[in-house]
């Protein structure tokens, strides 16, 4: 049995509180301009892309993330996240609006869509997230999982490429 990253071709990141810091003390940041990238995200995503990995992001649209479901909050959030990640080579963002649908995490719908869209088998996908819901999503989809803190601070050095040229 190899390491966690053997045969990985596609890395799926939970966006909120994994790639971007959009809460403080468990409360959604109200102003889009307060949202920031988490440490080490930019150089690691760029390196993943340069090594040929597909990179996607997933998110459930919830009141906790956006401080409300008003369309201007969602537009501001996605505009801010897109701007922050513009040079990070994120291939696509997937999202779910409807709680309880097959695409709503922890259900596997978004992961199934990503696997199909990129024609990548599930055993070649790694999901990186920050919450237990992210872990359950990976389990329900039948893919590997790494907690973001481990991925960005420890495990990432085990991906079979010279990853941390800094």
- The closest of 78, 71, 95, 73 to 13, measured between CA atoms, is 95
| In contact, 50 and 7? CB cutoff 8 Å | no
pLDDT at 5: 56
Dig out the tokens for 151 from the structure.
Answer: 């991925």
Model confidence band, residue 71 (pLDDT cutoffs 50, 70, 90): low
Q: What are the percentages of helix, strand and coil residues in the chain, rounded to 5?
A: 40, 20, 40
Taken in order of first residue, the domains within the chain and their CATH numbers are 10-14+39-63+88-158 (3.40.50.1000)
- The closest of 12, 44, 41, 18 to 144, measured between CA atoms, is 12
pLDDT at 99: 66
For 27-65, what is each residue's pLDDT tens digit? 777 777 788 888 888 888 888 888 888 999 888 776 555
Residues paired with 146 in a beta bridge: 128
Judge whether residue 166 has pLDDT over 50: no
Helices (H), 85-147: 109-118, 132-141
Q: Provide the residue count of the chain.
A: 166
pLDDT at 59: 81
d(CA 37, CA 149): 14
Model confidence band, residue 86 (pLDDT cutoffs 50, 70, 90): confident
| Rg, C-alpha atoms of the chain | 15
Instruction: Decide: helix, strand or coil at residue 58.
Output: strand
pLDDT at 72: 64
| In contact, 60 and 104? CB cutoff 8 Å | yes
d(CA 122, CA 37): 27
Dig out the tokens for 144 from the structure.
Answer: 């590997």
Dig out the tokens for 62 from the structure.
Answer: 């919830």
- The closest of 16, 3, 12 to 118, measured between CA atoms, is 12
């Amino acid at each position: 049995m190899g390491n966690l990253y053997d045969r990985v071709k596609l890395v799926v990141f939970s966006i909120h509180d994994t790639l971007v810091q959009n809460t403080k003390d468990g409360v959604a940041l109200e102003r889009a301009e307060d949202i920031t990238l988490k440490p080490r995200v930019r150089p690691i995503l760029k390196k993943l892309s340069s090594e040929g990995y597909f990179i996607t992001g997933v998110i459930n649209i919830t009141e906790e993330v956006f401080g409300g479901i008003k369309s201007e909050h969602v537009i501001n959030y996605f505009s801010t996240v897109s701007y922050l990640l513009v040079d990070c080579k994120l291939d696509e963002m997937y999202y779910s609006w409807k709680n309880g649908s097959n695409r709503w995490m922890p259900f596997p719908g978004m992961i199934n869509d990503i696997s199909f869209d990129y024609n990548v088998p599930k055993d070649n996908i790694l999901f990186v997230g920050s919450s237990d819901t992210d872990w359950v999503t990976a389990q329900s989809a039948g893919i590997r999982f790494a907690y973001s803190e481990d991925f960005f601070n420890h495990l990432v050095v085990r991906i079979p490429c010279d990853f941390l040229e800094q």
